Amino acid sequence: MSLEPETRAQLIETVRRFVREKCVPLEAKVAEDDLVPDSIVAEMRSLGLFGLSIPQAYGGLELSMEDEVLVCLELGQTSPAFRSVIGTNVGIGSQGVVMFGTEAQKQAWLPKLASGEVIASFALTEPEAGSDAASLRTTAIRDGSDYVVNGTKRFITNANRAGMFTLLARSDPSKPGASGISAFIVPARTPGISIGKPEKKMGQQGAQICDVVFQDARMPAHLRLGAEGDGFKLAMKVLDRGRLHIAAMCVGAAERLLRECVSYARERRQFGRPIGDFQLIQAMLADSRTESYAARTMVLDAARKRDSGETVTEEAACAKYFASEMAGRVADRAVQIFGGAGYVADHGIERFYRDVRIFRIYEGTSQIQQLVIARHLLQSVE
């Protein structure tokens, strides 16, 4: 549902102020503590951020994709760890329930996800199944009125805070590919689930990822999401949407870095004048501006197409691919413009450089996006 222009402007302004006044001053502390403080999480709850994409009937804001993207353009302007707090409830953790849940499943889970009372987490990746998601080995075998789950999931965002998992598991081991996979809602307190220690990562400290191990975890069959064998398609549809959300985060990060670069180029003096006077610095600023503008336009276009009912698998892959690679280039130029000051921790530029690196990997690597785009071209162009 699209917001009225005035309501949209108010929401964007509120998120912008929250990011600039509350999150930006805490960036270094969040990275050091590897934790987003409870006060910020509480404020996100009161702003309704956990429920951005959840239908109003279940307590969410039910934003259109375009409005969600506009919010992400603001959330992207600070450490991605802040967005990660709400990211799985807004995107990959909840959207399987929104798109494929029965009325009873929606009633049971969506209000709690929208309020942030329960954190959702998306359990697809495994030690041996990353880009090749259809090769996943975790099994969910029907036993009477239950399913029994065994296997290990890896790099699962927010697993250590999760109240529920959207789990992708093989319900038919006789089918090794996509068609043997089903999706499930799994309450995190189900006996037989254990959570690994948060991984030590290159960046995005404050956003945590862990292993999730299922050992004879038994759950009632009514928690299956969609039909048996439809899990892979559910995961792909969830990721189509998630990729637009991540692309918008990349644009937000690039716009923040560009602002930092412009103000540094104005104040830093070398050879008797501000470095912004030098054409080689200007070229880097111009390249970053051009690329971030192109990515912003792409993300908004794809979001609008999705809102008008189009399937945007290809556009979402283009946007995620271009925006994440663009953010990497913009961060690299930012380190170059700041020079030594960009390499030391004080200005936070090196932290952004590390933080944006994962955007080219999670929710589908750049190479997977290329593959998705090329497959669509080869199937559709006449």
| Residues contributing to the site for ligand COS (CB under 6 A) | 124-125, 131, 133-134, 178, 232-233, 236-237, 239-240, 313, 362-364, 368, 371-372
Shortest separation between residue 361's beta carbon and ligand COS, angstroms? 8
What's the Rg (C-alpha) of the chain?
21
Comparing CB distances to ligand COS, the nearer of 243 and 256 is 243
As a whole number of angstroms, the distance between CA 88 and CA 238 comes to 11
Contacts of 15 (CB under 8 A, 6+ apart): 47, 49, 71, 74, 75
Comparing CB distances to ligand COS, the nearer of 95 and 288 is 95
Give the pairing of strands 139-143 and 146-157: antiparallel
Shortest separation between residue 382's beta carbon and ligand COS, angstroms? 20
Contacts of 246 (CB under 8 A, 6+ apart): 320, 323, 324, 359, 362, 363
Shortest separation between residue 239's beta carbon and ligand COS, angstroms? 5
For the chain, give the longest Cα–Cα distance: 79
As a whole number of angstroms, the distance between CA 354 and CA 333 comes to 13
Contacts of 120 (CB under 8 A, 6+ apart): 88, 89, 93, 94, 97, 109, 113, 158, 162, 163, 164, 165, 166
Shortest separation between residue 47's beta carbon and ligand COS, angstroms? 25
Give the pairing of strands 224-225 and 209-220: unpaired
Please count the CA atoms within 13 angstroms of the CA of 307 that sit on its side-chain side.
19
Nearest to 23 by CA among 49, 9, 43: 43
Nearest to 242 by CA among 112, 94, 91, 372: 91
Comparing CB distances to ligand COS, the nearer of 106 and 243 is 243
Comparing CB distances to ligand COS, the nearer of 105 and 365 is 365
Residue-by-residue DSSP string for 305-316: HHHTT---HHHH
CB 115 within 8 A of CB 109: no
As a whole number of angstroms, the distance between CA 250 and CA 155 comes to 20
Comparing CB distances to ligand COS, the nearer of 237 and 329 is 237
Comparing CB distances to ligand COS, the nearer of 290 and 367 is 367
Shortest separation between residue 62's beta carbon and ligand COS, angstroms? 22
Shortest separation between residue 147's beta carbon and ligand COS, angstroms? 21
Which stretches within the chain are classed as H helix?
5-17, 27-33, 38-47, 65-75, 80-90, 95-100, 103-115, 231-267, 279-307, 313-338, 340-343, 349-355, 366-380
Comparing CB distances to ligand COS, the nearer of 16 and 376 is 376
> Active-site residues: which are they?
363
Comparing CB distances to ligand COS, the nearer of 14 and 366 is 366
Shortest separation between residue 317's beta carbon and ligand COS, angstroms? 8
Shortest separation between residue 177's beta carbon and ligand COS, angstroms? 6
**Helix/strand/coil for 104:** helix
Contacts of 300 (CB under 8 A, 6+ apart): 66, 69, 70
